[in-house]
Amino acid sequence: MLDDFLVRAVLAAVGAALAAAPLGVFVVWRRMAYFGDATSHAAILGVALALALSVPVFAGTLVVALLVAFGVARLTGRGYAADMVLGVAAHAALATGLVAASFLSGPRLNLEAYLFGDILAVSKMDLAVIWGGGAAVAALIGWRWQALLLSTLSPDLAAASGVNPERERVTLMLALALVVAVALKVVGALLIAALLIIPAAAARPLSRTPEGMLAGAATVGVIAALGGLWAAWSLDTPAGPSIVCAAAITFGISALGGRLLGGRGG
């Protein structure tokens, strides 16, 4: 029989993978990978501030991730190049968070756990946060699915159809901040973007519809989560990086399978 901490780790990994899947497809479609990096790197600053103010880490991470996301969106809309703003935001947020963490006194902050995840230390409260946050992301994306899809395919067509592309971008930023806060305990701030991007990228070559890609991303995410945990347990490797490595392997297999199927189709 599995130990309780292993059961919690499995539930946490699966919950984080399912939370990231619906957002990951939009991150890939909209080429928002660097945006995900900037938001996730800000999580360390959120952790440091939360501990300094004695508030829940989830709340601090969520607030800071939202502030960085909206700040980047506002600067990008004022004529600054998107890649420049995202590069500055990602590195500045991470560096500021590390500096802020150095001012915390006592052994209150295990920095490595927040950088790379500490899934084996997940508590029942963490599980509630992960699955609750994942359900909120799924509900938000499901509610705005058609509008998000239309504004992703063609902002002009979306506007002509009565959909506000800017509102849908705000919806994605809110969902991204939620995923960052949810996945922090599982894979850490440095690897959250990978959990968003790799499963969706792996599902893309084998998908024929947007809904199929979402389902494929969720499937790949869960497989990577379980495979990474198995590798971590068997090989005594870090759990968060192992999950990302498992996702990368599935991407390689998917890319090869996509090329073979494409070749046969031709």
What's the pLDDT at 67?
A: 87
What's the pLDDT at 243?
A: 92
| Residue 162 neighbours by CB distance under 10 Å | 8
Q: Whole-model pTM?
A: 0.85
Task: Check pLDDT > 80 for residue 104.
Answer: no
One of 3.40.50.300, 1.10.800.10, 3.30.70.260, 1.10.3470.10 is the CATH number of 4-190, namely: 1.10.3470.10
13-43: pLDDT as tens digits: 999 999 888 888 998 888 877 777 888 888 8
The torsion angle over the Cα atoms of residues 85, 93, 119 and 174, rounded to 10 degrees, is -50
Residue 251 confidence class, pLDDT cut points 50, 70, 90: very high
What's the pLDDT at 131?
A: 92
Task: Check pLDDT > 50 for residue 162.
Answer: yes
CB 197 within 8 A of CB 179: no
Burial of 198 (0-12, 13-18, 19+ CB in 10 A): buried
Task: Check pLDDT > 50 for residue 98.
Answer: yes
Residue 90 confidence class, pLDDT cut points 50, 70, 90: confident
35-84: pLDDT as tens digits: 778 888 888 888 888 888 888 888 888 888 888 888 877 777 666 677 77
Residue 109 confidence class, pLDDT cut points 50, 70, 90: low
What's the pLDDT at 105?
A: 63
What's the pLDDT at 77?
A: 63
Distance CA 179, CA 136 (A): 10
Distance CA 170, CA 66 (A): 10
What's the pLDDT at 245?
A: 94
Q: Where are the domains of the chain?
A: 4-190
Residue 222 confidence class, pLDDT cut points 50, 70, 90: very high
Distance CA 34, CA 43 (A): 15
With vertex at residue 42, the alpha carbon angle to CA 61 and CA 218, rounded to the nearest 5 degrees, is: 75
What's the pLDDT at 37?
A: 80
What's the pLDDT at 106?
A: 58
